[in-house]
Chains A and B, each alone.
Chain A
Amino acid sequence: AQSVTQLDSHVSVSEGTPVLLRCNYSSSYSPSLFWYVQHPNKGLQLLLKYTSAATLVKGINGFEAEFKKSETSFHLTKPSAHMSDAAEYFCVVSRLSGGYQKVTFGTGTKLQVIP
């Protein structure tokens, strides 16, 4: 069984300040973890993914996430928020077995960036 919890439905930051979006997961196996970003009325775009290599994962647009097995967390961070970062972010847990994928999406965190 697997699940994912995004701890904040809304996060508001000032432009130029750090961003922290929190994600906790549960999985009976070693999961792969993803962060996607979605701008209004658009599809999901991959930000970064963890697939059991380095625990600190760097993604696009200055985002990074750290896989912490002991805390079952995969929080997304960015040192300095930009207005264009305002969007909804989804944490995703995935398991691939025999070619079949079980994927579970979090409920999303809306990031507001205040000028």
Chain B
Amino acid sequence: DGGITQSPKYLFRKEGQNVTLSCEQNLNHDAMYWYRQDPGQGLRLIYYSQIVNDFQKGDIAEGYSVSREKKESFPLTVTSAQKNPTAFYLCASRTSGGETQYFGPGTRLLVL
């Protein structure tokens, strides 16, 4: 089955800790995205990557970092600088010529 997987489904972070959220796709898509979802605010773009070894900041990149070493993988690290990390995180991907984004099942991050 082709698709996007995110792991873990739930993640707990302690104060001062960095945590990494996984996003993998086997759709052969070039572009990948990370969004943060808070109640009543829709989705906000954290980072995106058009191609391997390239990524750009979105609207709320502060306190987050990413890498794109492989086409199929786009991990997101939530650093200790992100003071309010509790949210639902969604990864998406699309082909380079298309506009439809396909979403993973999400990771819910909670702070202990």
Contacts and interface: CB of A to CB of B under 8 A. Distances in A.
Interface centre among A41, A44, A99, A106 (most CB of B within 10 A): A44
Interface residues of B, number: 24
A44 B6 CA distance: 13
B40 A51 contact: no
Given A90-B43, A105-B43, A49 B100 contact: yes
Nearest to A101: B99
The DSSP consensus for interface residues of chain B is: strand
A92 to B, nearest CB: 8
Contacts of B31: 101
B105 interface: yes
Nearest to A103: B101
A107 B103 contact: no
Interface of A: 9, 32, 34, 36, 41-46, 49, 51, 90, 94, 96, 99-101, 103, 105-108
Given A45-B103, A46-B102, 14 more contacts: A9-B40, A36-B103, A41-B88, A42-B105, A43-B4, A43-B90, A43-B105, A44-B92, A44-B103, A101-B31, A101-B94, A105-B42, A105-B43, A107-B42
